[in-house]
Amino acid sequence: MYIVTAKEMYDLDRYAMDEIGLDGRLLMENAGRAVADQIESELSLSDGILVLIGKGNNGGDGFVIARTLLQRGYDVTAVQMVPSSKIEGDAAYHRKLLLSMGYSFVQYDGQESLEKLCDQNSIIVDAMLGIGVKGEIRSPYREAIQTVNASPTHTISVDLPSGVPADEGVEVNQAVKADRTVVIQYPKLSAYFQYTATFYGEWKTVDIGLPAPSQHKRSFYGKAQVQSTFPTRNSFSHKGKHGKGLVIGGASTMPGSVGLTSRAALRGGAGLLTLATVPSVIQALASSTLEATYISLQDLNGYILDVKGLDLSYDGIAIGMGMGRHEEAVQVLQKVLQKASCPVVIDADGLYALEKDTSILDDRDGPSILTPHPGEMAHLLGVSIPELLSKPFAYTRSFAEKHHVFIVLKGAFTIITNPEGEQWVTDTGNPGLAKGGSGDALSGILLAYIMQDQTIGDALCNGTWIHGYTAELLTAERHSEHDLLANDIIEGLAQTYRTLSL
């Protein structure tokens, strides 16, 4: 499922009309009918429906919704928010159609009467503002949004909750807090965006017959994509086929994180796994992580001093977990990135070391994969966390394109970006993952997947999706978000694979 900006949606609309010859009035009919079908699934004939109709094409959809539900026998009150003279184009056509069929609407005449209408009806359909919203919300929408939000009546928004912009980087000053949103054709960026997603309530898309964008820029990555791209292991598989992975990290005070990464890589399906770390970490882990092999690195005060002589001919490497923020960590990372030609996952203290000099990414032979949380990404970019979170898609894309890297920006919506700037969003997971160690487990899963038979982009999407889905499965059954630990996720992978028949 594609995710679009307002401009991309308008471009598609124009293409459909100018190149394909789809009439705009037909698209509006399709949109209104599809939304009406969705709304109808929640209705009984005795329900009163209030449709709030704005000036633009979102309002045009509203006219179609009102007419369709009236024709089907529902008790509909349509309120036109602006004077008739202001309604133009396709919306004016559908306004006329409503009247020609013998139905009528009422003209908005202030907050007080709207309040009454909201209370008298069982459902409010918000078709006031769509993707054309710009700047501070003006009258009469400002007051109408306040009234809708103050009313307990169930609210369904059309395309977007009125006042919510389609794009990132735009502040929401006032918007409808919808219970549900019926999104037209493709979800807009703001549906996947921390500050605006909550306005949508539960949402669903409806197809109105628009073509797919000609170029893939962004899309949602869900269960169907995981099931169609996840590699199978056939009966002739041998351990070498599934990848020889190397984990580099750990310090005497932080043995756990590389342990989690290694075990997650093994449970994730890595064929062979080697952990290169300081001697004390090997002592701490050797008896619990039996399937791994170990390489002892030179240490200084419990930290990795050097990777001199370390063979880097693996199928994939993960570096940085629990490595520490000592001075030598920077050289350790640099040497690995320069010498290794395989894909390298850089996480945690590896990202901290990278901040000192991001140019080391630029002339690598193999792919680099960065797995930051917003704090780490903000540091790499040299911006504040709120600034990053106001435009997470744009910021990560510019960094990925500039340094030619893959980025997995972790969050409630994880954004995966490839070096060409294409993006995918996964939405699995829950607050149970907001704990130390869950990032280490994710790095291990990603390391395992990038060594399997799938593209790196799919491997990263599959890994983040499965990591989050496992948390959801576990908290639905034997765990809660309070007690869930990274190790539970690793052990829970078995259940995910079996549930999904992977």
Ligand X SMILES: NC(=O)C1=CN([C@@H]2O[C@H](COP(=O)(O)OP(=O)(O)OC[C@H]3O[C@@H](n4cnc5c(N)ncnc54)[C@H](O)[C@@H]3O)[C@@H](O)[C@H]2O)[C@@H](O)CC1
Binding site for ligand X (CB under 6 A): 9-10, 13, 27-28, 31, 54-61, 129-138, 141, 158-159, 184, 208, 210
The verdict on whether residue 350 carries a ligand-binding annotation is no
The verdict on whether residue 421 carries a ligand-binding annotation is no
The verdict on whether residue 136 carries a ligand-binding annotation is yes
Closer residue to ligand X, CB minimum distance, 60 or 439: 60
Q: Which stretch binds K ion (CB under 5 A): 117-125, 152-160, 347-355, 418-426?
A: 152-160
Closer residue to ligand X, CB minimum distance, 59 or 432: 59
Query: How far apart are the C-alpha atoms of 16 and 205, rounded to whole Å?
Result: 18
Is residue 155 near K ion by the rule CB under 5 A? Answer: no
Residue with tokens 């903000």: 378
Write down the least CB distance from residue 498 to K ion, Å. 42
Is residue 191 near K ion by the rule CB under 5 A? Answer: no
Contacts of 302 (CB under 8 A, 6+ apart): 251, 252, 253, 278, 280, 324
Q: Which of 30, 157, 277, 438 binds K ion (CB under 5 A)?
A: 157
Query: How far apart are the C-alpha atoms of 200 and 202, rounded to whole Å?
Result: 6
**Considering CB distances under 5 to 8 angstroms, the limit depending on partner class, which of K ion, ligand X, none binds residue 28?**
ligand X
Write down the least CB distance from residue 62 to ligand X, Å. 9
Write down the least CB distance from residue 449 to ligand X, Å. 36
At 219 the three-state DSSP class reads: strand
Write down the least CB distance from residue 225 to ligand X, Å. 25
Contacts of 12 (CB under 8 A, 6+ apart): 4, 185, 186, 210, 211, 213
The verdict on whether residue 58 carries a ligand-binding annotation is yes
**Total chain residues near K ion (CB under 5 A):** 5
Is residue 162 near K ion by the rule CB under 5 A? Answer: yes
For residues 424 and 470, is the Cβ–Cβ distance under 8 A? no
For residues 457 and 445, is the Cβ–Cβ distance under 8 A? no
Query: How far apart are the C-alpha atoms of 374 and 491, rounded to whole Å?
Result: 27
At 352 the three-state DSSP class reads: helix
- DSSP 8-state secondary structure symbol assigned to residue 17: I
The verdict on whether residue 483 carries a ligand-binding annotation is no
What letter represents residue 58's amino acid? N
**Considering CB distances under 5 to 8 angstroms, the limit depending on partner class, which of ligand X, K ion, none binds residue 27?**
ligand X
At 70 the three-state DSSP class reads: helix
The verdict on whether residue 10 carries a ligand-binding annotation is no
Write down the least CB distance from residue 30 to ligand X, Å. 7
Closer residue to K ion, CB minimum distance, 145 or 158: 158
Q: Which stretch binds K ion (CB under 5 A): 78-86, 150-158, 245-253, 366-374?
A: 150-158
What letter represents residue 278's amino acid? V
| H helix intervals, 188-285 | 223-229, 255-268, 279-285
At 57 the three-state DSSP class reads: helix
Write down the least CB distance from residue 348 to ligand X, Å. 41
Closer residue to K ion, CB minimum distance, 148 or 273: 148
Write down the least CB distance from residue 9 to ligand X, Å. 5
Query: How far apart are the C-alpha atoms of 392 and 375, rounded to whole Å?
Result: 12
- Per-residue x/- marks for K ion, 268-287, CB under 5 A? --------------------
The verdict on whether residue 497 carries a ligand-binding annotation is no
Contacts of 215 (CB under 8 A, 6+ apart): none
* Residues counted in the chain: 502
**Considering CB distances under 5 to 8 angstroms, the limit depending on partner class, which of ligand X, K ion, none binds residue 137?**
ligand X
**Considering CB distances under 5 to 8 angstroms, the limit depending on partner class, which of ligand X, K ion, none binds residue 57?**
ligand X
What is the dihedral angle through the alpha carbons of 150, 156, 157, 163, rounded to the nearest 10 degrees? 10
The verdict on whether residue 411 carries a ligand-binding annotation is yes
**Considering CB distances under 5 to 8 angstroms, the limit depending on partner class, which of ligand X, K ion, none binds residue 135?**
ligand X
Q: Determine how β-strand 423-426 pairs with β-strand 180-184.
A: unpaired
The verdict on whether residue 186 carries a ligand-binding annotation is no
**Considering CB distances under 5 to 8 angstroms, the limit depending on partner class, which of K ion, ligand X, none binds residue 425?**
none
The verdict on whether residue 30 carries a ligand-binding annotation is no
Closer residue to ligand X, CB minimum distance, 182 or 354: 182
Is residue 190 near K ion by the rule CB under 5 A? Answer: no
Among residues 351, 325, 328, the alpha carbon closest in space to that of 439 is found at 351
Please give the distance of CA 344 from its chain centroid, rounded to a whole number.
23
Query: How far apart are the C-alpha atoms of 139 and 306, rounded to whole Å?
Result: 65
Is residue 158 near K ion by the rule CB under 5 A? Answer: yes
What is the dihedral angle through the alpha carbons of 3, 9, 13, 19, rounded to the nearest 10 degrees? -70
**Considering CB distances under 5 to 8 angstroms, the limit depending on partner class, which of K ion, ligand X, none binds residue 157?**
K ion
Write down the least CB distance from residue 184 to ligand X, Å. 5
Binding site for K ion (CB under 5 A): 58, 126, 157-158, 162
